[in-house]
Structure 1
Amino acid sequence: MQANRPAQFVAVFDFGAQYGQLIARRVRDLHVYSEIVPCDTSAEELKAMAPSAIILSGGPASVYADDAPDMDAAVFELGIPVLGFCYGQQIMAVKLGGKVGHTEKGEYGPAHLVRRGESRVLEGTPQEQTVWMSHRDAVSEVPQGFSVTSVTDTCPVASMEDASRNLYATQFHPEVRHTECGKAILSNFLFNVCGLEPSWTMEGIIDQKVDQIRREVGSRKVILALSGGVDSSVVAALVHRAIGDQLTCVFVNHGMLRKGEPEMVEEVFREQFHMPLVHVHAEERYAKMLAGVTDPERKRRLIGTEFWRVFFDEAQKIGDVEMLAQGTIYPDIIESGARKTGGKAATIKSHHNLIPFPEGVHFDLIEPLDHFFKDEVRELGIALGLPAKMVWRQPFPGPGLAIRIIGEVTPEKLAILKNADAIVREELDAYNQRLFEETGDRNSEHACWQYFAVLPDIKSVGVMGDERTYQRPVIVRAVESADAMTADWAKLPYDVIGRISSRIVDEVEGVNRVVYDVTPKPPATIEWE
């Protein structure tokens, strides 16, 4: 059990749903804390957690499959309100004596739903509405005590409920935005059925986290590897607010950051926040180490290993440090299957924040963001007073520009890429800002989610000033994505692409050609190496 969990919280049972994280986020959007828990959490364990409500996620399996995710039926006897989606509805039905059948025709995408009778969770929504379906199996016979509250042309039990036991379920997905009344359905469940309060706000979160950090740290010294990225920057601001100069930030400058970023780190943390900041200038050290290295995985290994070597050297110089602050966030933990969740969702990657402590060296970890989603981390950063340009900084790989330079990293290539990338970011920052002003939505589906320049290890012929040139091309990569698991290339207006191309060729010495990458993920990745 998490000791510092808010008094009211929603437990989201994870049955391997692609929308599992989205459910937790939608609940938090309504200012109620939620947490993903393994679907096989026992009723006894759940009772000890004392959730205010339970939501059962969807999942790709059939409830009758031999290896289907299962749950403890006694959960339904705890008296805690339960809302199930898709697989969550089906397993609720089976556990309580109903039946699930394999329909002749599946439903995938938008479906026309018609309400039937009274419903506490559908209250206030239209008699007919569009919902988002994704299923082949469906409930064919509801358990005793349940009533059918909506249908579609294909699904005879689009939703069901037993209000006397506070058990509710939908075959459709209220958590996705394509379900037009999804937010209202979640609100009805959280506030009308469960009687919760929308009290999980950033101001309250900061106060709670500051108190928690102070209790956890006590009088000990804390060190933080500060990259200037969103997560480490928010951790720095939050921990510093809690313990002041007991925190020392170490900024290892390997020379492969984007143009202007080292200066921004100095300005924000040394000048604005007045934090103890150690700026390690390791540019030459890295340049020598990477000379002649072309393999991208070797670049990553060398840069990562050297980073921790430099960092731990500085920690020894500071002395008496007992704790290491980390920018681990909730998706890191969920996707890695590490430590704090045991959900059924497939493991996607190894935990990227595991620390290679040298022999004889160990720090206790403090991870104050380990139950926050990325958008919540950004909100927290703004509330803590970090500048918007840092909070909205787009994802950037740890090895930096080294893996956006194809082939060997040289001072000449670094200079070209830094200058070209600065132009790409400047133009697309402005483009995104215009979209934000027009739509009021910082996460517009039409905005660029990530954008950068890549320098390939080739040259091409061009003509400049009536003379032939033999110079490098620059590749521009801009994608739209919600979570980086999939991405599509950004459909930028031609005038924006044209202006980026003209500026790079005119302003960046050594470049005579600009190309635009129009490959989605999959089959490509967002990064080139």
Structure 2
Amino acid sequence: MSHQTVIILDFGGQYNQLIARRVREHGVYCEVKPYTTPLADLRAIDPIGIIFTGGPNSVYLETSPHVDPEIFTWGVPILGICYGCQLIAHTLGGKVTAATEDSAREYGKTETYFDTKCRLFKGLPAQGITWMSHGDYMEKVPDGFALTARSDACPNVAIADEARGFYGVQYHPEVNHTEHGTDMIRNFLYEVCGAAGDWSMRGYKETAVQALREKIGDGKVLLALSGGVDSSVAAALLAEAVGKQLTCVFVDHGLMRLNEGDEVETAFSQWDINFVRADAEELFLSRLAGVTEPEAKRKIIGEEFIRVFEAEAKKIGRVDYLAQGTIYPDVIESGAGDAAVIKSHHNVGGLPDYVDFKEIVEPLRLLFKDEVRGLGRELGLPEYLVSRQPFPGPGLAVRCIGDITKEKLGTLRLADFIFRDEIAKAGLEGTMDQYFAVLTNMRSVGVQGDGRTYDYTLALRSVTTTDFMTADWTRIPYEVLDRVSVRIVNEVPHINRIVYDITSKPPATIEWE
């Protein structure tokens, strides 16, 4: 799979994955590499451009991460963001120093003025909001650089050496708070680097299918299918490539949302593969009986999943390849570069100890989550699978507080469906990133019909987020919450009170357990 490539050189910035996603969104392939990557390895990639990320350090300290100045002799355009901007200035003869006055420090939304003759800002407004986060500033810019953006507090918000294709910005163009920030990244890619825009999921599908066929040959492939987006798309891609040589083992632990098990099975009926649905609901419920501690639940579910998967794998016999739904953020966060990555989630963790195979296949390891969804659509997976929300590995077990019973799971499953159904009817799916119901272990007095009740309290949770590291609770309209509440208390037995979680992350987590 040959594409033009941009290198994202990571100096510890919190937005490194977001920068890469922005580049990919513009149809340009990129890879995130640690700043310690040998220059020879970087040069072998033959990049059309390089982006230095932000970072928490000060470039003038010897202990801070730096880059070999040779990289500036390659004739490859470079964009430095925040720390990356200061690194360019520091390395090429400028001076970066700590701010001694409040006016030199900038944090948050900042009114900024741009020189639109600079290629980075071509076709964009001359004034706009940027997102700043820096306590150091460039006291002196290197020779050959012009100042191309300023703010009321700082005269050197952006610098450029257009002749060599070197650009630096003190702010973060990759975040939504910066107006036209993604357009600035696009300008760097197309106006400066001359990108062709040769990266798409349609193209990836075609080349990936061919590469998998060549690699696997007539071998047998085994995949643990959880029903989540990643494993489902990996299964669909492998099904397209090798068909009957693929066996998907779907462990139905009885902890999924309403109808999800049937939906997964139906979705894969279009391919001629070996689809094994292991009905293990009673086994899981018996092991979870009386267990209330969240981590104990997770451990039990992980162990049982592996045991069930192992039993099914033994029935298959020889397996040449074990397939996993590893995606690019897993690779980046592991720090393993191009080394094989074993996800630690319960649906695959530990499996190599139990299944005899010669190699791991990770057909999605170059893709971000939004790209995985796009690939799923290209492969013809139904939208209910492709757009499925993040779902915890232990499923509803960690959304049912306290002990778990089949009856409580049924109550939660129906209430959760009603919540999601009303959000869909209101056309609000795109305004929130994760939303679900939690059956609390609290019971309270209520009045239904002519009598008093003593039943469970259900909590509703919805958040908006860009990275799931932080999240804000969603401002769902009251009339929608009212419809959800009325339907649940009327249609779902044993619930007489609904509460809405209005806590952001932090201090709370997204899930309750």
TM range (shorter): over 0.9
Q: Which residue of 2 aligns with 1:346?
A: none
Q: Distance between the aligned counterparts of 2:400 and 2:116, measured in 1? A: 62
Question: What SS does the aligned partner of 1:401 have?
Answer: helix
Structural mapping, 1:349-388, within 5 Å: 351-352=344-345, 354-358=349-353, 361-388=356-383
Amino acid at match of 1:410: T
Provide, for residues 73-119 of structure 1, a one-character-per-residue CA deviation record: whole Å limited to 9, x for no partner: 21111111111111111011111111112222211122222335842
Q: How many residues align?
A: 507
1:309-324 mapped onto 2 (5 Å cutoff): 309-324=307-322
SS of 1:143's equivalent in the other structure is coil
In structure 2, the CA distance between the partners of 1:227 and 1:206, relative to structure 1 (3 Å rule), is: same
1:173-199, Cα deviation, whole Å (9 max, x unpaired): 222233223233222221122111012
Residue correspondence of structure 1 range 429-440 to structure 2 within 5 A: 429-431=424-426, 434-435=427-428
CA contact under 8 A between 1:42 and 1:71: conserved in structure 2?
no
Taking only the aligned residue pairs, the percentage that are identical comes to: 50
Mapped to 2, the partners of 1:116 and 1:472 lie a distance apart of 61
TM-score (norm 2): 0.94
1:184 is aligned to 183
Aligned to 2:235: 236
Paired AA for residue 391 in structure 2: F
Q: How does 1:338-357 map to 2 (within 5 A)?
A: 338-340=336-338, 351-352=344-345, 354-357=349-352
Cα distance in 1 for partners of 2:394, 2:53 equals 36
Distance 1:350 1:210, change over 3 A: closer
Aligned to 1:456, the other structure's residue is in SS state strand
SS of equivalent residue, structure 1 residue 145? coil
CA distance in 2, matches of 1:238, 1:507: 40
| Alpha-carbon displacement from aligned partner over 1:182-217 (angstroms, at most 9, x marks no partner) | 233222221122111012112111111112211221
Deviations 1:118-146 (A, max 9, x none): 42222333333332221111111111222
Say whether 1:335 aligns with 2:339: no
CA contact (8 A) 2:3 2:199 kept: no
* TM-score normalized with structure 1 length: 0.92
Asked if 1:129 corresponds to 2:124, the answer is no
Corresponding residue SS for 1:332:
helix
| Counterpart AA for 1:162 | D
Partner of 1:439: none
Q: In the superposition, relative to structure 1, how do residues 52 and 355 fare at CA in structure 2: closer, same or farther (>3 Å)? A: farther
Out of 351-360 and 474-483, give the one that drifted further: 351-360
Gaps of 5+ in 2: none
State how far apart, in whole Å, the 2-side matches of 1:359 and 1:273 are: 27
Name the SS of the counterpart of 1:429 in structure 2: helix
The code of the aligned residue for 2:309 comes to F
Give yes or no for contact 2:245–2:273 (8 Å, CA) kept in 1: no
CA distance in 1, matches of 2:354, 2:276: 24
- Cα separation, 2, equivalents of 1:310 and 1:144: 65
Amino acid across the alignment from 1:525 = T
In the alignment, the residues of structure 1 paired with residue 449 and residue 472 of structure 2 have an alpha-carbon distance, to the nearest angstrom, of: 37
CA 191–258 in structure 1, closer or farther in 2 if over 3 Å, else same: same
Give the match's secondary structure for 2:59. Answer: coil
Aligned to 2:500: 516
Deviation at 1:25, TM superposition (A): 0.8
Structure 1 Cα separation of the partners of residues 121 and 48 of structure 2: 20
Is residue 63 of structure 2 the alignment partner of residue 67 of structure 1? Answer: yes
Deviation track 1:201-252 (CA, whole Å, cap 9, x = no partner) reads 1211111111221122121100111121111111111111111111111110
Moved more, 361-370 or 413-422: 361-370
Cα distance in 2 for partners of 1:335, 1:324 equals 22
- Aligned 1:383-422 pairs, distance under 5 A: 383-422=378-417
Match of 2:509 in 1: 525
8 Å CA contact 2:111, 2:151 repeated in 1: yes
Aligned counterpart, 1:345? none
- Conserved 8 A contact 1:417-1:454: yes
Any conservation in 1 of the 2:4–2:198 contact (CA below 8 Å)? no
Partner residue of 2:291? 293
Compare 249-258 and 272-281 and name the one that shifted more. Answer: 272-281
Aligned with 2:470: secondary structure?
coil
Mean CA deviation greater in 39-48 or 501-510: 39-48
Query: Structure 1: which 5+ runs fail to align?
Result: 343-348, 437-441
- What SS class does the counterpart of residue 188 from structure 2 fall into? helix
Q: CA RMSD in A?
A: 2.0
8 A Cα contact 1:259 1:422, kept in partner? yes
Which amino acid counterpart does residue 88 of structure 1 have in structure 2?
A: G
In the alignment, which of 79, 97, 114 is matched to residue 101 of structure 1? 97
Structure 2: distance between partners of 1:527 and 1:340 = 32
Contact 1:43–1:78 at 8 Å: present in 2 too? no
